Structure 1
């Protein structure tokens, strides 16, 4: 096996410990980590790349700057194989740079990707500006991603299938992990996860994780999305991370007025009903809360259930 090399001829640093810790906790994670140096070396040789040290952050992938043999700047991403990452190459190929970074190359299994580099690359989360302006910028990226309707044969999971799976998990986890959670709120979320995908008036290629850390400042467009967890389905699914993570409204003494304004803004830019966007957000917050309970993160889960109660109020549920 050839050693990894950086553009300056030295070896790149290993995976950040925070990412390695996440992966070690996954089924098959330790074995994947052990094989990662060989995987990187194989991809580097096959694609004639010089690598730099990986970026900080992320959750379950090695991602870092790369240069091709022709000195083109790019980013290499090698993901731990999991359900949410399975469609990333397919979605990026479908968007072809319209709202997201371009896919330059992909491995046969789709878990190694060579991507367009965003410069300057600052995240929407870390950028200066009024929260309303940052939210609008993120929503316009989302609208761009949704512009082209899905094509027959697109190899992406259906949101309806995923949401049905999640509804079953919430039902099973409620009495086992947080039996004291408001049964009306939990039942409402389960019902929404079943009904919303089936009653959508249109279907789009969803980003799946359009949080403000996954939108980067770029040169060929003001902002581009990265790291999709794509599906095909109801566009209302996508807005929750943008609404809640840009200058988080839950920090306010009374977040309800701010939340109502944000959903009105989203409805105006995206052409989707505000109450439906809020209903999806409430359902997602409940599902996420029980996912956090499942890994023992009870304070974070309780915070998301409190969030879901307010989102349900905005939605009129």
Structure 2
């Protein structure tokens, strides 16, 4: 169904800004093709647009739509990257268990039709303790064995690439003071991968902002960057959620360690493994931030790692 002319369908400002900055010419080319691609899927899948989700994602545009029978849904058009290429496969495997349900997909074009969630209400709307409790419940549903013939990237392979980048950034002049943290992160990764637990399907980017209110279940995850491997790797991103608030709290270092312990206990994840993955992921994220000139976030992430 063709789009109604009165519905604005311009890509969100954040999407334009991020894709232009992160992806350069490839991002600009994708943005130039986006209006025609959007119209194509509105017509092909017989969708009537209601509004563009704002502020939207960093590399995807989400349009709230109605299907031909009037059922609400969300059309997601995203730039395909190594991290997002298997999003459709993960959603299909979960089939609505803990995650948004996939209704239709054209994976080669990065087009997904998803069940409609309450897109403006995430776990960030809850107090921290309640949000962590709900997040743990969602993860329990997501951590299932992958299919025997799955094509998901392993945590070992994915973090090998991150480790190579860490080694390169370690040698930059701006990294001189934090090299001991980088060395420890790399050593911990090697140790973690030497004795991995039973692998499960992971979300890959699990935090409060990626869990939305729903009708089928109270909360459902969105935007997976799926991997297969150690549950502690997935949980490590949640450990540092709302970091700015955590840092501002009294006795922040102790609060961070208590949070780590509570999450490990709630999800039956080994505390030491969770601590080590949390350290690695915080150092990796901090070094990335420093490498792109975001000194404030970079220093905050590295300070958090040092607390662990």
In which range does the TM-score fall when normalised by the shorter chain?
Answer: over 0.9
- Please tell me whether the aligned partners of residues 286 and 304 of structure 1 are also in contact (alpha carbons under 8 angstroms): yes
TM-score (norm 1): 0.91
State the alpha-carbon separation in 1 of the partners of residues 238 and 109 from structure 2.
27
- Within 5 A, what are the aligned runs for 1:1-317? 5-6=3-4, 10-25=6-21, 26-27=23-24, 28-57=26-55, 58-109=57-108, 111-119=110-118, 122-127=121-126, 129=127, 131-146=128-143, 148-176=144-172, 178-246=174-242, 248-311=245-308
- Please tell me whether the aligned partners of residues 51 and 65 of structure 2 are also in contact (alpha carbons under 8 angstroms): no
- Please tell me whether the aligned partners of residues 103 and 116 of structure 1 are also in contact (alpha carbons under 8 angstroms): yes
Superposition deviation, residue 120 in structure 1: 7.3
For the aligned residue pairs, the C-alpha RMSD in angstroms reads 1.8
TM-score (norm 2): 0.93
State the alpha-carbon separation in 2 of the partners of residues 23 and 101 from structure 1.
25
State the alpha-carbon separation in 2 of the partners of residues 53 and 73 from structure 1.
12
State the alpha-carbon separation in 2 of the partners of residues 81 and 59 from structure 1.
12
Kindly provide the CA deviation profile for residues 184-217 of structure 1, in whole angstroms up to 9, marking residues without a partner as x.
2110111223332342211111101111111111
Superposition deviation, residue 62 in structure 1: 0.6
State the alpha-carbon separation in 2 of the partners of residues 182 and 292 from structure 1.
13
State the alpha-carbon separation in 2 of the partners of residues 17 and 249 from structure 1.
29
Superposition deviation, residue 98 in structure 1: 0.5
Superposition deviation, residue 270 in structure 1: 1.0
Kindly provide the CA deviation profile for residues 20-70 of structure 1, in whole angstroms up to 9, marking residues without a partner as x.
110112140000000000111111111111113221132111112011111
Kindly provide the CA deviation profile for residues 95-131 of structure 1, in whole angstroms up to 9, marking residues without a partner as x.
000100000000041611000111475100023x3x2
- Structure 1: which 5+ residue stretches go unaligned? 312-317
State how many pairs are aligned: 304
The corresponding residue for 1:315 is none
CA 1:12 to 1:133, structure 2 compared with 1: closer, same or farther past 3 Å? same
For the residue of structure 2 that corresponds to 1:245, the secondary structure is coil
State the alpha-carbon separation in 2 of the partners of residues 90 and 174 from structure 1.
35
Deviates more, 1:280-289 or 1:169-178: 169-178
Superposition deviation, residue 281 in structure 1: 0.8
- Please tell me whether the aligned partners of residues 246 and 256 of structure 2 are also in contact (alpha carbons under 8 angstroms): yes
State the alpha-carbon separation in 1 of the partners of residues 65 and 195 from structure 2.
44
For the residue of structure 1 that corresponds to 2:172, the secondary structure is helix
State the alpha-carbon separation in 2 of the partners of residues 98 and 177 from structure 1.
47
Superposition deviation, residue 262 in structure 1: 1.3
Deviates more, 1:276-285 or 1:295-304: 295-304
Superposition deviation, residue 228 in structure 1: 0.6
- Structure 2: which 5+ residue stretches go unaligned? none
